[in-house]
Structure 1
């Protein structure tokens, strides 16, 4: 029997609200861990997006990421280098940002279906990093050209994607041990 949350039970809403806020905090903090590069900085955002999706589940993780991006669009300095506002969604980082909710959802879905072991999680995280880079490249290519976009917006991030995918798989392995 499926249990529903009643508005008359405030304690039942406290846990999801705290988890939601925690996800926003993790996403924001991951943005501020940055190595400035032009035109796109290196951050821990992609790892946080994957972990939020995996740990919160596809729909809840998707909602957290969309809300976080909504805060950025409204002017909250939650993105790398304190960027905020609509400009972040039309500038060089737009493709990466717009891929985040989709990738968070897919990570949450993947961990329930195909990303069940350490190796498959690593491969899944790597593929999802690839999807973020592909979206970032596609958008950036419209601004500076395909070759330049690959050189500036994909190639420098390949090693980081590999490392962050391994780190994500290791974090999930640690969560497995805690269960």
Structure 2
């Protein structure tokens, strides 16, 4: 009988057991998905709406906490050196000091957090998975808005950095949970892991 059947827990891609070349490829693929998710945006000031948190939570859930966090940090490193991987095809050091910096710094924490919970089987049930993804989005908003509040005050940080993202966060959490469930039901996760 398969270990996956015995454990009863939904296991992410189990990339930790793969070769360095396989892990490196997974990180590169993850950074590409993160870049593409950044380019899907609704321009808003001072923080645009993107699909980043959807991919950040998915990377965490699929890669696990270590490699998920590392993948997001690799993407941020690409942005830091100027690759056009952030919202609107932006990159460069300025984004790590501006109004969106708190959200950027939150992303690897969110990926690691979701990955940690996924490794414990909490993305097996779609309703619990939704809660995990939603907690990841809430964590991102809390950390990002904390940084923003230091720049423009709490009330403006709530108005511009949290409130407009609540509905999107719920929808992206539902989409992430549904995607994980589809992958789990299709058996692709078991075959890949």
> Is this contact kept in 1: 2:65–2:111, CA < 8 A?
yes
RMSD of aligned residue pairs (Cα, Å): 1.7
SS of the residue 1:37 aligns to: coil
Q: Distance in 2 between matches of 1:13 and 1:86?
A: 29
For residue 12 of structure 1, report the CA deviation from its aligned partner: 4.4
- 1:51 aligns with 58
Match of 1:42 among 41, 49, 72: 49
Point out where structure 1 has 5 or more consecutive residues left out of the alignment: 6-10
- Tell me which moved more, 31-40 or 78-87: 78-87
1:142 and 2:137 correspond:
no
Q: Distance in 2 between matches of 1:141 and 1:15?
A: 40
- 1:172 aligns with 180
Match of 1:122 among 118, 130, 137: 130
What count of residue pairs does the alignment treat as equivalent?
A: 171
For residue 13 of structure 1, report the CA deviation from its aligned partner: 4.2
Q: Distance in 1 between matches of 2:19 and 2:141?
A: 38
Deviations 1:44-84 (A, max 9, x none): 00010000111111111111110110111111111001221
- Spell out structure 1 runs of 4+ moving beyond 3 A: 11-14
Q: Distance in 1 between matches of 2:141 and 2:19?
A: 38
Taking the TM superposition and a 5 Å limit, the aligned residue runs for 1:1-179 are 12-113=19-120, 114-179=122-187
TM-score by length of 1: 0.91
